[in-house]
Amino acid sequence: MGQGMIIWRVVCKSAVYCSLSLVFLSFFTNMATASCITGACHQELQAFARLHDPVAADECLSCHESVVKDHPLKKGRSFKLVAEGAALCVECHDSFDPAAGKLHPAVADGECLVCHNPHGGGSVGLLRAAGDLKVICFECHDATSFEQKFVHGPAAAGVCFECHLPHQSKHKNLLLSDSRSLCLRCHADLVAGLENSAVIHAPLNESDCSVCHEVHGGSFAHLLKEDGQKLCFTCHDELADKYKRAKTKHAALYEVDRCGNCHSPHFSQHAALLPEQESVVCLRCHGKDDFKRSHSLANVRTELAGKEHLHGPLTDGKCSACHDPHGSDFYRLLVDAYPESFYAPYSKGVYAFCLSCHEENLLRFPETSIYTRFRNGKHNLHYTHVADPRKGRTCRACHQAHASNGPKLVNEEGAVFGDWRIPLRLVLTDTGGSCSPGCHRRISYDRENPVLKK
Amino acid sequence: MSVVFAVNRPGSLRSVFLAVLVILSLLLSACAGPEVVRPEGSVFFPPVPNPPRVQYLTKISSSTDIDGKKLGGLSILAVGDTRAEKPKPIIKPYGITVRNGKLYVCDTSPGRLIVIDPARKSFEFLKGNYSFGKLKKPINSALDSAGNLYVADTMRKEVLVYGPSGNFLRSFGKGMEMKPVDVAIDGDYLYVLDLKSHDVKILNRKNGKLLETIGNDSENKHLLSMPISMDTDSKGSIFISNMTSGKIINLDRDGHLLGEFGKLGDGFGQFGRPKGLAVDDQGRIYVVDAAHQNVQIFNKEGRLLMFFGDPGLPFGSLNLPAGIDVTSEGIDLFKEYIDPTFAVEQLIFVTSQFGPAKISVYGLGELKK
């Protein structure tokens, strides 16, 4: 063997050893720098904006363990989870004590992956969807209420966590807090009113907002559960029948906001949740001239303005003592019977409305020394005027209903009698008086010394 | 079921009886309704299971019940007038009037009127009951706003008037041929219930002038029938008990019939012999029945509310009752007798002509909440 041959052999052997060394070096270099997700196999995990901490730390084996030496296998798995379901998660994350509150069913079942990705996600919590959480929630929860005409803001935005806790809560429906406090976190404009108002709508004190409002979405404005008065009648059922069957209906109840035309829904300083004193509320409609309508409402405000005497209930600002705003079977929404016509002879019940406050025996006896001061001796002149079986005159012939400058609400301007207003011209004395209305000549009466009939 | 039981086991009458008894007791307990917890020891009406509304409080039969002084033993050392030491008994009371915390009791047999002031613990005979003011058979009385006392005397057939201090002032009715059995005041009007004419005479309270007669006029012939007692409500209308018709008649001052209720009988709301009548400030009408020996309470529409005082109880029963009056004043004076669980709103005083309790005191109210 020549020297050249020896050199050739040495060169060849060196080349082989170097190649083998490079192969081994290359192998061990790869072993030292590549991981499960940087390698060729699980690179898709790098696409997550946020990685599960063990993944980011390349601690795959904190969750996975090898079951066979070869990996990957063409068939079957060479790794398995170190524990199943929530048992794996609670090795790092706190577990939930069922006694501490109601659990989300997925949590209770240990199904964390219903909502979370195990390796990474787009947001904090590694949720399976970022931004609009409805995507996740609707996989289990019904989406119907979110597809209504009106949708609650947070529901529309899919920020379910504004109201709900995802894992556990002491409050119903996994709410962040009790219903009323929860709503007032955002609807802060109601807080001051609720704290400072004399009258609070009962559900707000005794229950929660969801008695009247849908929480996610609904078919009616303000997320109300029912339309207008129907919602109110679910609790105020005594008014439902009146609403349907009343012979005389209050127009306000059947227009636009219905009950809301007169009542505040949440709170008020006034009884019955009226936004203002009762008579003020009524006069908003009944205290103005409406020239747009052929049969406009009477302007009661002008009837009251500057008058010396108001009808008793009106001195307390009450209209409901005489009128039922929710409907009535009687004339002008009165709470009891009163004739609509100018003439209506007295009989029991015909004047029940007036006599429910005024002396019940006023019109009962032709002679009395007790029930009226409008008498000549014992001759009951109220009886004479009203109980005349042929032409009994109603109270309006002499009295104003709302206000007057005359005592006993005597109608000084005169009762409306067709196109004419009948003057009354009443003159009172200590023991009687006289009048010369458009009906008869001046006639006097005296309680103590009866005036003889001419 | 009990019949089948008897057929199958002839001769087992005792078992049948027991079975029937058990079934009946079960049925009765089922009908009893919700249990009403009543305080023990106190006498309440109506009986269980109804909630208590009237409590028997105490009795007044002599001055001892008021001033606490008892008759001392016979003392040979006693000097002077020892009569002052003796308790003064109520013999046969009829009408009773309660006003401003004082009780005015007509004691018919001895012909005297007793004025009892529980607040001052005084028990005195009417001062003016002598000479022209001597009572023969006082049966009912009334007071006006000035404190004058008007007493109907059926034997003198007059109404005697005494001043606030008890001195005799005048008498009304001489020549009217009446038998006054009750009196009532309404402003300047004095109502006199006349048993003889079956009517109410309206007199001027100050001079006794007869102004009008109502209750048996052309409009209301024979409306009253042996009227025996009357009272007025807060509006001045008059309620009159009638012995022979068993009706309570409600008239106004003009004699108009405003209403009536009751009839003779032994059912609820019926009367055997109606006597004293009182109306409280809530419009409830209390009617004493001398035959049923109880008091029935009606609302202003004449609906029976309850009754109390029937015979048979160791305490709280009436014995030929006659007069009655009701007041919401002076309840605290009887506070020591009121059960701590019971709130009294009206005191009821009822006279019994016999028995140990001549005046029975009751409280109308309800259990405290």
Cα–Cα distance, B294 to B268 (Å, whole number): 11
B218 and B97 within one domain:
yes
Q: Any chain A CB within 8 A of the CB of B252? A: yes
A-contacting residues in B 66-95 (Cβ below 8 Å): none
Residue A42 burial (CB count, 10 A): 15
Cα–Cα distance, B340 to B347 (Å, whole number): 16
pLDDT-derived band at A295 (thresholds 50, 70, 90) equals confident
Instruction: State how far residue A369 is from chain B, nearest Cα, in angstroms.
Output: 7
- The tokens for B346 are 């009206």
A340 and A310 within one domain:
no
- Tell me whether residue B84 is in a domain: yes
Identify the pLDDT of residue A74.
Answer: 80
pLDDT-derived band at A36 (thresholds 50, 70, 90) equals confident
CB < 8 Å to B236, chain A: 370
Query: Mean pLDDT over all residues of chain A?
Result: 89
pLDDT-above-70 percentage for chain B: 85
Residue A88 reports pLDDT greater than 70: yes
Cα–Cα distance, B127 to A211 (Å, whole number): 74
- Tell me whether residue B169 is in a domain: no
Identify the pLDDT of residue B70.
Answer: 64
Q: Any chain A CB within 8 A of the CB of B301? A: no
Please tell me which of A53-62, A138-147, B146-155 the model is most confident about, judged by mean pLDDT: B146-155
Q: Any chain A CB within 8 A of the CB of B254? A: yes
- Tell me whether residue B170 is in a domain: no
The residue out of A315, A347, A381 marking a domain boundary is A315
B21 and B80 within one domain:
no
CB < 8 Å to A366, chain B: none
Note whether B254 contacts A364, CB cutoff 8 Å.
Answer: no
Q: Which domain holds residue A267?
A: 189-315
B-contacting residues in A 90-119 (Cβ below 8 Å): none
Note whether B236 contacts A368, CB cutoff 8 Å.
Answer: no
**Beta-strand pair A443-446/B43-45:** unpaired
Note whether B252 contacts A361, CB cutoff 8 Å.
Answer: yes
- Tell me whether residue A113 is in a domain: no
- Tell me whether residue B163 is in a domain: no
- Tell me whether residue A137 is in a domain: no
Note whether B256 contacts A378, CB cutoff 8 Å.
Answer: no
pLDDT digits (tens, 9 = 90+) for B290-306: 999 999 999 999 999 99
Cα–Cα distance, A368 to B249 (Å, whole number): 18
A291 and A201 within one domain:
yes
Identify the pLDDT of residue B369.
Answer: 86
- Please measure the distance between the N-terminal and C-terminal CA atoms of chain A and give it in whole angstroms: 177
CB < 8 Å to B256, chain A: 361, 364-365, 368
A355 and A308 within one domain:
no
A310 and A204 within one domain:
yes
Contact by Cβ (8 Å): A180, A209: yes
Residue A272 reports pLDDT greater than 70: yes
- Tell me whether residue A308 is in a domain: yes
Tokens 């005494």 label which residue?
B162
Q: Which domain holds residue B89?
A: 44-128+179-367
B123 and B7 within one domain:
no
B354 and B319 within one domain:
yes
A363 and A276 within one domain:
no
pLDDT digits (tens, 9 = 90+) for B324-369: 999 999 999 999 999 999 999 999 999 999 999 999 999 999 999 8
A261 and A226 within one domain:
yes
Calculate the CA dihedral of residues B326, B328, B330, B333 and round it to 10 degrees.
80
Cα–Cα distance, A175 to A246 (Å, whole number): 43
B282 and B200 within one domain:
yes
Q: Any chain B CB within 8 A of the CB of A64? A: no
- Tell me whether residue B155 is in a domain: no
CB < 8 Å to B252, chain A: 361, 368, 370-371
CB < 8 Å to A371, chain B: 252
Note whether B254 contacts A361, CB cutoff 8 Å.
Answer: no
Note whether A370 contacts B258, CB cutoff 8 Å.
Answer: no
CB < 8 Å to A361, chain B: 252, 256, 258
Domain count, chain A: 2
B22 and B50 within one domain:
no
φ, ψ of residue A299 to 5 degrees: the values are -90, 90
A402 and A307 within one domain:
no
For an interface test with A, give the residue of B188, B250, B252 to mutate (most A CBs within 10 A): B252
For an interface test with A, give the residue of B189, B256, B257, B300 to mutate (most A CBs within 10 A): B256
| A292 or B19, greater pLDDT | A292
Identify the pLDDT of residue A326.
Answer: 96
Residue B32 reports pLDDT greater than 60: no
Identify the pLDDT of residue B328.
Answer: 96
pLDDT digits (tens, 9 = 90+) for A378-389: 999 999 999 999
- Tell me whether residue B168 is in a domain: no
A356 and A307 within one domain:
no
Query: What burial class does residue A259 get, using C-beta atoms within 10 Å of its C-beta: 0-12 exposed, 13-18 middle, 19+ buried?
Result: buried
- Tell me whether residue A41 is in a domain: no
Average pLDDT over residues A13-31: 56
Note whether B258 contacts A368, CB cutoff 8 Å.
Answer: no
φ, ψ of residue B362 to 5 degrees: the values are -120, 160
Residue B154 reports pLDDT greater than 90: yes
Note whether B256 contacts A368, CB cutoff 8 Å.
Answer: yes
Report the CATH number at residue B324. 2.40.128.630
Identify the pLDDT of residue A306.
Answer: 94
pLDDT-above-90 percentage for chain B: 79
Q: Any chain A CB within 8 A of the CB of B102? A: no
A301 and A204 within one domain:
yes
Residue B17 reports pLDDT greater than 70: no
| A43 or A436, greater pLDDT | A436
- Tell me whether residue A432 is in a domain: yes
- Tell me whether residue B222 is in a domain: yes
Q: Any chain B CB within 8 A of the CB of A361? A: yes
Instruction: State how far residue B145 is from chain A, nearest Cα, in angstroms.
Output: 20
- Tell me whether residue A110 is in a domain: no
A438 and A377 within one domain:
yes
B222 and B102 within one domain:
yes
Instruction: State how far residue B237 is from chain A, nearest Cα, in angstroms.
Output: 10
- Tell me whether residue A374 is in a domain: yes
What 8-state DSSP symbol labels residue A395? G
A282 and A217 within one domain:
yes
Residue A443 reports pLDDT greater than 90: yes
B101 and B18 within one domain:
no
Domain count, chain B: 2
CB < 8 Å to A365, chain B: 254, 256
Least confident of A43-57, A89-103, A345-359, B18-32: B18-32
For an interface test with A, give the residue of B204, B233, B234, B254 to mutate (most A CBs within 10 A): B254
- Tell me whether residue B160 is in a domain: no
Residue A32 reports pLDDT greater than 50: no
Identify the pLDDT of residue B11.
Answer: 40
A-contacting residues in B 226-245 (Cβ below 8 Å): 236
Contact by Cβ (8 Å): B114, B89: no
B76 and B21 within one domain:
no
**Beta-strand pair A50-51/A120-121:** antiparallel
A345 and A431 within one domain:
yes
B112 and B1 within one domain:
no
Query: Mean pLDDT over all residues of chain B?
Result: 88
pLDDT-derived band at B10 (thresholds 50, 70, 90) equals very low
- Tell me whether residue A347 is in a domain: yes
Q: Any chain B CB within 8 A of the CB of A364? A: yes
Q: Any chain B CB within 8 A of the CB of A365? A: yes
Residue A367 reports pLDDT greater than 50: yes
User: What pTM was computed for the model?
Assistant: 0.74
